[in-house]
């Protein structure tokens, strides 16, 4: 899963409804004019890359539209615009140029209009325009704002998502206290990741007639439930049937304590004529998400996890037959996760993305015989796929390149890059060599590890080296390009990076992935130490200048290793890490996570798994801390509260350990603002350079 967070960065000015918008030339954020000095990747260069977002192919397979977002460091915000190109990557055109971001792009089914969401008077609304960018019109006028939408295939209706207030608040009972900010909490799940829960995203369906939306119906009227599922779900969790009569959507119809204890979401079918809703996945008690309906409407495929309460269970592909009402698991013998499901145009196959050995490639399932075939086999991460005749239009990235758009031949897997958003900037940057190595663990297993070398690596020299600890805990150290935990910027600062796919990560079979649950501080920590010890055998690694860095579970790993590293490391950096597992158990909001991964509550003295977890809480080893540590945290992080980072910092200072605390009042589990991102990078390298160089 990945989080999508939409910040309304600025306001787009639209002249009279139905007229072409004013193409602003004022404070519009565009492609930065930057020169890379000495080929070095710096924080400023990193934030200058264009970020490709959504991609959509025209119904006639003639054009690809996509968004590119650029950031202004000075203005501390970003702006996304819409571009188009032909299927071979030629004839690139910028279709919008406004002061507010355009997003959620798609084609109207007849191909005559491009639709998108943009901000009008501080509220997100749906707009349409011609394929050449002219005749831009606002087609929604909802005072609450719209988060996402999709046309029905026959274009007679449109579905959209917006926030709806269902529960009563303290202000409702105290209308005279209109300036009061207090919240009266009566149940759990009152906060989630970075948001106080006071409203729910609801699904609406409305009539659509040539640019006019009317008669909206709240599919979930009166229900205190959400669709899409928060916080990571988007419009991929809601889809139309091919006959435009049914909407398939994802929802976890639980609330309060029940919600926080369970991952049981289901696939619901809503008939727009009868207004009846049917649950087609009730038998499965884990996650069911992201339904996609076959072109002939006979089948519905979705992603599914079997076990309730386990958010990192195997992600399977289930297919439901709309006639027989039977559901089949097509991935019983496929020991990999599936994601980004999409039907072939003839309905005979399902394309998907799967992670194997730290690389995300494209696969296909043939429905008739159930066979799975790998289409691409590249050292990269594919992130999205759109069928387009005999090809797939896909986005991909790697450790050394940000996201670009590729055309993939379905038959032979040949990949052709068709976008070059960052070609000029990449040509100026020297990237370090990326190598994959397999290492033997303490229990005789083979562990995959990425090694990233400095751009001007000289094997006759000795380099300070960083052990990278992955978060999740169950998310692969794959070929991802990050704008914070970017391996190439670490390498550009003359560090060697060791990034192991330790125990508890997907892409290496379900048994490898599951081992970590209930074993925090166990085998995966031994795996980390194997990786850094193995690299220390190389003559070019300065074993007296080792650092250890990581975020989230990686931050927990740093805190744990700080008390158990036997003087291997000379500097630590932990971002959003769990420091005190007992307080974490009651501070976090998704109780299914701590119940599964830690084994249960710390007060359950008869639970051996739980007691082992809490015995391995990093705060229990502070008496052994002897190494400088930098703690970083965001105060809007409700998953792992900032108090965890503050506790760790306070403990280090009280013990006389050199320590710094970088706290962000306006960031959550990530760092999303440009200037904060650059401050993060500068602080990160200042700390490492101080102790390792």
Question: What six digits make up the tokens of 282?
Answer: 């009730």
List the structure tokens of 9.
Answer: 């960065």
Q: Treating both helix axes as pointing N-terminal to C-terminal, what angle do 553-562 and 523-535 enclose, rounded to 10 degrees?
A: 70
**Which helix (H) or strand (E) covers residue 659, if one does?**
strand 659-664
Report the C-alpha gap between 482 and 487 in whole angstroms: 8
Q: Are 27 and 99 in contact (CB under 8 A)?
A: yes
Q: Would you say 199 and 166 are in contact if contact means Cβ atoms under 8 Å apart? A: yes
Residue in the block written with tokens 């928060």 = 230
Show the tokens assigned to 416: 């052709």
φ, ψ of residue 347 to 5 degrees: the values are 75, 10
Residue 317 neighbours by CB distance under 10 Å: 24
Q: Residue 595, Cβ neighbours under 10 Å: how many?
A: 17
Q: How big is the CA angle at 152 (ends 146 and 157), to the nearest 5 degrees? A: 70
| DSSP-based helix, strand, coil % in the chain, nearest 5 | 15, 35, 50
Q: Which residues contact 185 (CB under 8 A, 6 or more apart)?
A: none
Q: Which residues contact 611 (CB under 8 A, 6 or more apart)?
A: 599, 602, 604, 605
- On the CB side of 520, CA atoms within 13 Å amount to 33
Whole-angstrom distance, CA of residue 602 vs CA of residue 309: 18
Active site (annotated) includes residue 637? yes
Residues 6+ apart with CB under 8 A from 205: 157, 158, 159, 216, 217, 219, 247, 270, 272
Beta bridge partners of 203: 161
Provide the 3-class DSSP secondary structure of residue 196: strand
β-pair type (571-575, 541-551): parallel
| Residue that the structure tokens 């890379």 belong to | 36
The three-class DSSP label of residue 603 is coil
Distance CA 516, CA 500 (A): 14
Distance CA 301, CA 338 (A): 11
Cβ neighbours of residue 671 closer than 8 Å, sequence gap 6 or more: 484, 634, 664, 677, 680
Pick the catalytic residue from 448, 575, 633, 669: 669
Q: Indicate left, alpha or beta for 600 from its phi (over 0: left) and psi (-120 to 50: alpha).
A: left
Residue of 265, 384, 517, 552 with catalytic role: 552
Active site residue 552: yes
| Partners of 387 in beta bridges | 392
Three-state SS string over 358-404 comes to: CEEEEEEEECCCCCEEECCCCCCEEEEEEEECCEEEEEEEECCEEEE
- Please tell me what DSSP assigns to residue 462: -
Spot the catalytic one: 360, 381, 576, 637: 637
Instruction: Tokens for 333, please give them.
Output: 């013998």
Active-site amino acid positions: 552, 637, 669
């Amino acid at each position: 899963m990945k989080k999508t967070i939409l910040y309304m960065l600025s306001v787009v000015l639209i002249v009279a409804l139905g007229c072409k918008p004013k193409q602003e030339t004022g404070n519009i954020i565009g492609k930065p004019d930057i020169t890379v000095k000495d080929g070095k990747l710096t924080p400023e260069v990193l934030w200058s890359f264009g970020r490709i977002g959504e991609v959509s192919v025209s119904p006639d397979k003639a054009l690809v539209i996509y968004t590119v977002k650029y950031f202004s460091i000075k203005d501390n915000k970003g702006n996304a615009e819409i571009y188009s190109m032909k299927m071979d990557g030629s004839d690139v055109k910028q279709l919008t140029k406004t002061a507010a971001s355009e997003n959620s792009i798609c084609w109207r089914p007849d191909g005559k209009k491009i639709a998108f969401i943009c901000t009008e008077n501080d509220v997100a609304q749906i707009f349409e325009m011609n394929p050449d960018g002219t005749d831009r019109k606002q087609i929604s006028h909802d005072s609450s704002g719209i988060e996402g939408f999709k046309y029905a295939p026959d274009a007679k209706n449109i579905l959209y998502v917006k926030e709806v207030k269902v529960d009563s608040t303290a202000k409702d009972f105290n209308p005279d206290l209109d300036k009061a900010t207090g919240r009266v909490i009566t149940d759990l799940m009152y906060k989630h990741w970075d948001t106080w829960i006071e409203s729910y995203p609801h699904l609406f369906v409305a009539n659509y007639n040539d640019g006019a939306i009317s008669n909206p119906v709240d599919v979930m009227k009166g229900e205190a439930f959400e669709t899409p599922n928060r916080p990571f779900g988007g419009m991929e969790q809601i889809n139309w049937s091919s006959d435009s009569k049914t909407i398939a959507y994802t929802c976890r119809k639980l609330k309060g304590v029940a919600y926080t204890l369970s991952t049981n979401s289901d696939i619901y079918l809503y008939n727009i004529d009868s207004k009846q809703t049917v649950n087609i996945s009730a038998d499965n008690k884990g996650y069911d998400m992201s339904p996609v309906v076959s072109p002939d409407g006979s089948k519905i495929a979705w992603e599914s996890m079997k076990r309730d309460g386990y958010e990192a269970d195997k992600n399977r592909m289930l297919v439901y037959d709309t006639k027989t009402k039977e559901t089949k698991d097509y991935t019983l013998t496929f020991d990999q996760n599936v994601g980004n499901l999409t039907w072939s145009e003839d309905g005979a196959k399902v394309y998907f993305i799967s992670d194997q050995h730290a690389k995300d490639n494209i696969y296909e399932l043939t429905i008739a015989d159930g066979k799975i075939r790998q289409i691409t086999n590249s050292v990269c991460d594919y992130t999205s796929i759109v069928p387009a005749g005999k090809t797939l239009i896909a986005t991909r990235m790697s450790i050394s390149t940000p996201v670009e758009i590729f055309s993939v031949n379905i038959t032979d897997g040949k990949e052709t890059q068709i976008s070059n958003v960052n070609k000029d900037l990449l040509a100026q940057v020297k990237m370090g060599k990326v190598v994959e190595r397999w290492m033997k663990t303490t229990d005789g297993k083979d562990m995959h590890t990425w090694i990233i070398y400095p751009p001007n690596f000289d094997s006759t020299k000795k380099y300070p080296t960083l052990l990278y600890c992955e978060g999740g805990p169950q998310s692969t150290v794959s070929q991802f390009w990050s704008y914070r935990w970017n391996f190439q910027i670490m390498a550009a600062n003359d560090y060697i990076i060791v990034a192991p796919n330790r125990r508890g990560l997907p892409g290496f079979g379900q048994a490898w992935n599951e081992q970590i649950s209930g074993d925090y501080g166990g085998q995966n920590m031994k795996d980390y130490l194997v990786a850094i010890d193995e690299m220390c055998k190389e003559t070019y690694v300065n074993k007296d200048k080792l650092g250890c860095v990581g975020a989230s579970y990686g931050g927990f790993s740093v805190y744990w290793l700080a008390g158990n590293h036997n003087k291997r490391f000379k500097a630590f950096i932990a971002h959003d890490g769990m420091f005190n597992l007992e307080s974490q158990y009651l501070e976090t909001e998704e109780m299914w996570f701590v119940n599964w991964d830690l084994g249960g509550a710390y007060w359950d003295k008869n639970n051996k798994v739980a007691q082992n977890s809490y015995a391995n809480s990093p705060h229990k080893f502070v008496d052994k801390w002897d190494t400088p540590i930098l703690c970083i945290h965001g105060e809007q992080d409700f998953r792992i509260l900032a108090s965890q980072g503050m506790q760790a910092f306070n403990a280090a200072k009280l013990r006389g350990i050199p320590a710094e605390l970088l706290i962000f009042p306006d960031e959550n589990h990530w760092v999303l603002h440009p200037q904060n991102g650059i401050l993060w990078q500068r602080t990160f390298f200042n700390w490492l350079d101080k102790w390792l160089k």
